[in-house]
Structure 1
Amino acid sequence: MIKSLVTGGAGFIGCHVVNHLIKMGHEVVVLDDLSGGSKNNINSQAIFINGSVEDEELVKDIFNTHKFTYVYHLAAYAAEGLSHYVRMHNYRSNLMGSASLINESINHDVKCFVFTSSIAVYGTNTLPMTESAVPQPGDPYGISKYAIELDLKAAYEMFGLNYVIFRPHNVYGEFQNIGDRYRNVIGIFMNQILNDRPLTIFGDGKQSRAFSYIDDVAPHIANAVNVPEAQNQIFNIGSDKVISINALAEIVIEVMGAESSIEYLEARNEVVHAYSDHTKLKHVFQIKDESEASLRKGLDRMAVWVKEQGAKETKIYTDLEISKKISSHWMRH
């Protein structure tokens, strides 16, 4: 029996990866502290352990109890924009927690460590961003993700721990936490509509991104261990279709059947244009261009699910380490 550990398996991307692994015949153990995910997201066939990757003793105990073939590491503090204001929390959660998992994977002869990094490692690189570019992360979140990438490379070269690294970007779809006010703009927009509030956009809305439907991302992450050519490689993963935030807002309003207004806020410190090239992924994983769901189709599916779930309350993050230069909107009730 193939047994896989999925950290962050109660979260958005993680729960979809869990579902695909179970369909593939894996026995799955989910480790999640439910800080960003929901227990309701977890497949009933998975073994659930409520805890954090930061808990080194718990991680050791889990590896001693279960003989894992593979590790899928998706747990992370993932509010990129807020990471400037919570450096210690960001590095404890993302970097130190990952180091503990890598240690145990080496000690227990895990066959492959699959890691979800982020397009954030690129920073303000030349567009479209390619895997051959030298990362220049511009925030603590991206820095922590890149550090883990480098650590996995070192672990492979020293101990032979095989890995596959994915750099997803702007993933959306069913089971996303729309109540998180600090990340996932599509979820934020849809929740604002459900709460009869204007859609808020930082800056002029001309920033551009490529938004990736979950079903074009999660299956390939799950299947990575079955693609020999993918081992010890890094892959951008997501959509090639680039759109401005202004245009995205209009489509979201349409699919939600709303007549919402848009409120423009003071610009924040962020990369203006960010999208990546997926040639390498398509070649190695043999993905056809036409397999990708259109943005409108994916948003339609998400909108149906979001309306069924209803509006969510958004919580203000109160454990800031730095409060200088933070957007007043992020702290507004």
Structure 2
Amino acid sequence: MAAITQSIGLFGVTGEVGRAFFDGLEAQPAFVGRLRLFASAASSEETRVFRDKPIAVEVVEELASDRFDDLSEAILAVPADVADELAAELLQAGVRVWDATGHLRAHPRAVALTEATSSDLLIVCDDPLTALCQPVLDVLAAHAPLTELAITALSSVSLRGKAGVKELAAQTGNLLNGRGIEPSVWPQQIAFNVLLADGQRDSSGRTARERRIEKALSHLAAAVTVEQIVMPLFFGAMVQLRWHSSATMPNDLSERLASLAHTQVMPAQASELPSPVSDGADHDGVSIARVNLADRRGSLWIVADPIRAGLVRPVLNVLMNVP
């Protein structure tokens, strides 16, 4: 890969998604351009060390009108209430915007990450769970069309960023010490609990995110259902895929899945199976376990960090290769 010399702005660097992108950029040997870091006033006077050099975190509200003129790329890992205005300023300055949180998917100029070209200036990233499942499902569908697909995602509180992580930590400490709790980020207690949905449900009991994932994967199976459950885990996720295919899957399916980039498949008799703690946090690899085939039905588990493996790595793979 040729050296990447463009100037990149990372917005929301102090949040969970921003932190993951910061680590991902640091690990990209091809990136030798300038990196600017941005956050809200709450993070003023903070710094981050990037390749042994300190970089001051800039407060967006305090910058001059020509503040973005030197940027060529901008990664937005910011809340919905500021994403639209910030994107408008960046696009006006001729900066290509990478929306990491999906807040701008309805923007008239938005293009999906999987369809991005060098001429596109507003690229909206795929849902991390979609990005985790897509390569695996492509392998399955290449051998036999899927007639039914059911996905159950056991997700961590990092779905809600730093606020979600802090609330789980605070609730855990308060409950262990006999103090009361007041849920704010989550609709009810998350510590020592399991939430059967992440967000409001429609008349059929589905959340907006579940519907989006179902739509994104609808080309792979005649019937797709997605359920997302929130676990009292800080990071990582476990996703079970269950399918019914029109023909029997090959016996060497595990070997074919193991050929996917950044993917390891655990042997059926492995003494230790992957978990969100050991394999699903702070790295961009994917672990697949418990691959079961029975006639035309099958199932498997995916364990990964959805932010790093399902968002940061796919985005940087495209960003580093788009002229």
Question: TM-score normalized by structure 2?
Answer: 0.42
Relative to its length, the structure with more strand (as a share) is: 2
Rg bigger for which structure?
2
Question: TM-score normalized by structure 1?
Answer: 0.41
Relative to its length, the structure with more helix (as a share) is: 1
